[in-house]
Structure 1
Amino acid sequence: MDMNLLQSPAFRSRADIVLGPFRRKAASVSGIPRLPDYSEYDMSMSQVLLSALVGAGAMGFVAWTFFQSPIALFLLGAAGLYAPLLRHRQLIRGRQAQLKLQFKQMLAALSSSLGAGRSVESAFAEALQDLGLLYPDPDTMIVREVRMILRRLENGETIESSLLNFSVRANIDEISQFTEVFVTCKRTGGNLVQVIRRTALVIQDKLDIEQEIGVMLAQKRFESRVLSAAPVLFIAFLVWTTPDYMEPLYHGGGVVIMIGALLVLFACYLITQKIMNIKV
């Protein structure tokens, strides 16, 4: 087997989906805790099966509505089995979005402590207390990460290595940028408190803009999904109520028309998703 294929992101994503439940079970049996990697997500077996069932069912419905052919039903239904990979990516993006929002709250608490004249280490300790008020659950991602940073400091590790470890596992641009500025300033001997405070404020503003854009686009995303599903449901309604009227579309040249219509719908969906994928 080609080693490049084994190292490709798509192959690793599929492997994560299939092997995720077994990895969790092995970790629980061995008793060795795993540091969370926020660029991965271990889907449970029920999540994999449910998303595959929903994907295959939805694509099968589209296939039967447009073609009423067992071959099309089999082909598009099999394509729906790709749904667990899409769901896997969606869960990763959702968790990273939550972590990004929580990181913004941490930056606010950190900036406040630094502005009061605290050292960086003391600022992280006070930030943990403030985050505990916002997120009472001790297993909240950012609370767990800040607590881990403080524990590493108690064990004699540097704060730079702790932040680098966090940024690598988070795989989020804002966290990586903050860590890069922090490490650079620490090594060059700059005014660490002032630089980190300004950097935190800039990243906060960026995250605020991203959040506002996300709120404005939420309704548009819902509308695009409704508009994408409406033609399929309308054709299904016509097939159910007036089958004789729709019969010519399932034979001869009508099949070509239905294929073209389905391709146009798919292209429109991809275009709308591309338009609404706004990055700050």
Structure 2
Amino acid sequence: MWRNLKRRELLFDHRISNKDKIKSMIEGVGIIMLLSLFFYRSLWAVLFLSPLFFLYIKEKNKSLVRKRRREIKEQFKDAILSVSANQKAGYSVENSFRQAYGDMVLLYGKDSPICEELHNIVIGLGNNIILEKLLYDFAKRSRTEDVLEFAQVFAAAKRSGGNMTQIIEKSVTVIEEKAEVEKEIQILLAAKQMEQKIMNVVPFGILLYIHVTSKGYFDVLYHNLPGIIIMTICLGVYIMAVLLSRKVVHIEV
């Protein structure tokens, strides 16, 4: 069973589901075809623009990883709240985590990131692996600051023989306060992120409008070498603007 746990640890590291991978690939193909038609009016341009497909997949994967980290942080906060409540009810620290797994299954479902991790912890405890190591392994896999800080504080408290109920309760308070600040920042950024997405599609709206209302207006820019060079430069500027705007509105909390 411990060997299976090790294998799951390797697979868990921010893995992206097959559903998300397929969705990203479909979106990437759609975007490449859209760029080919708008900037070159030729499906042959798909071959020339194929590197952008891999760039999109890379950026999309980063976005999915950030989303998964946010999920882990939010769910971890609720898990530690459950652990703290179980401690106050008289459970040992280890049994508090076992009980927290059941609570998180009811709250988020077995397939949620936190339930997968708590299940690993329950299995590890059943194999006499110390809780400090299991928490630290969780922190390494999740690459989440809240989990790492909790694992470090927990390990230090265990070694020094501190009051675990008090320490966990204090950790819960700190995590909750940090989560509130992060929520406020995300709310403030949400409007700007929406504006950024709208601005990304505005150039296509303008091109489509001119194409519909003034047919042939842009014909001089297609299917000839000077036009291809100009449109390639425009495409490069557009891509740089999109990447820059994403960096501006994305703040890692």
Deviations 1:174-214 (A, max 9, x none): 11111111112222333333233212221222123223333
User: Structure 1 residue 94 and structure 2 residue 67: aligned?
Assistant: yes
User: Per-residue deviation at 1:84?
Assistant: 3.6
Residue 112 of structure 1 is matched in structure 2 by: 85
Measured against aligned partners, the alpha-carbon deviations of 1:43-88 in whole angstroms (never above 9, x if no partner) come to 53x7656533432331232233223366644311452244444443
Structure 1 residues 140, 63: CA separation in 2 closer, same or farther (over 3 Å shift)?
closer
Residue matched to 2:248: 275
Counterpart secondary structure, 1:35:
helix
| TM-score w.r.t. length of structure 1 | 0.72
Q: Does 1:178 pair with 2:150?
A: yes
* Corresponding residue number in structure 1 for 2:180: 208
Q: Distance in 2 between matches of 1:132 and 1:247?
A: 59
Equivalent positions of 1:92-171 (< 5 A) are 92-115=65-88, 118-135=91-108, 137-171=109-143
Contact 2:14–2:68 under 8 Å retained in 1: no
Question: Which among 5, 24, 28 is matched to residue 55 of structure 1?
Answer: 28
8 A contact 2:32–2:52 mirrored in 1: yes
Percent identity, aligned pairs only, is 29
Shift of 1:35: 1.5
Which deviates further from its counterpart, 157-166 or 236-245?
236-245
Task: Give the AA of the match of 2:154.
Answer: F
In the alignment, is the contact (CA less than 8 A) between 1:65 and 1:239 conserved in 2?
no
TM-score by length of 2: 0.79
1:12 counterpart residue number:
none
Of the structure 1 ranges 227-236 and 259-268, higher mean CA displacement relative to structure 2 is found in 259-268
Aligned partners of 1:161 and 1:225: how far apart in 2? 42
Q: Distance in 1 between matches of 2:209 and 2:79?
A: 51
Q: Which residue identity does 1:52 align to in structure 2?
A: M
Q: CA deviation at 1:140?
A: 3.2
Q: 1:39 to 1:186 in 2, by over 3 A?
A: same
Kindly tell me the number of residue pairs found equivalent between the two proteins: 248
Q: Structure 1 pair 55/146, CA: closer, same or farther in 2 (3 Å)?
A: closer
Q: CA RMSD in A?
A: 3.2
Measure, in 1, the Cα distance between the counterparts of 2:156 and 2:128.
20
State the distance in 2 between where 1:269 and 1:79 align.
13
Aligned equivalents of 1:51, 1:117: Cα separation in 2: 47
The 1:157–1:38 alpha-carbon spacing in structure 2 relative to 1, beyond 3 Å, is closer
Deviation at 1:235, TM superposition (A): 0.9
- Is the contact between residue 56 and residue 78 of structure 1 (CA under 8 Å) also seen in structure 2? no
Cα distance, 1:54–1:133 mapped onto 2, change above 3 Å: closer
Runs of at least 5 residues in structure 2 that lack an aligned partner in the other structure: none
Shift of 1:109: 1.7
Conserved 8 A contact 2:14-2:142: no
Preserved CA contact (<8 Å) 1:115 1:197: no
Gaps of 5+ in 1: 1-30
Once residues 101 and 180 of structure 2 are traced to their aligned partners in structure 1, the CA distance between those partners, rounded to angstroms, is 21
Structure with bigger RCO (C-alpha 8 Å, 6+ apart) = 2
Tell me if the contact between 1:249 and 1:258 (Cα under 8 Å) persists in the aligned partners.
yes
Residue 39 (structure 1) aligned with residue 13 (structure 2) = yes
1:23 aligns with none
Q: What is the distance in 2 between the residues matched to 1:242 and 1:134?
A: 56
One-letter amino acid of the structure 2 residue matched with residue 242 of structure 1: S
- Matched with 1:218 is 190
Q: CA deviation at 1:228?
A: 0.7
Query: How many angstroms apart in 2 are the aligned matches of 1:104 and 1:50?
Result: 29
Q: What's the secondary structure of 1:245's corresponding residue?
A: coil
Amino acid at match of 1:172: T
Q: Is the 8 A contact 1:178 1:200 kept in 2?
A: no
The amino acid across from 2:15 in the alignment is Y
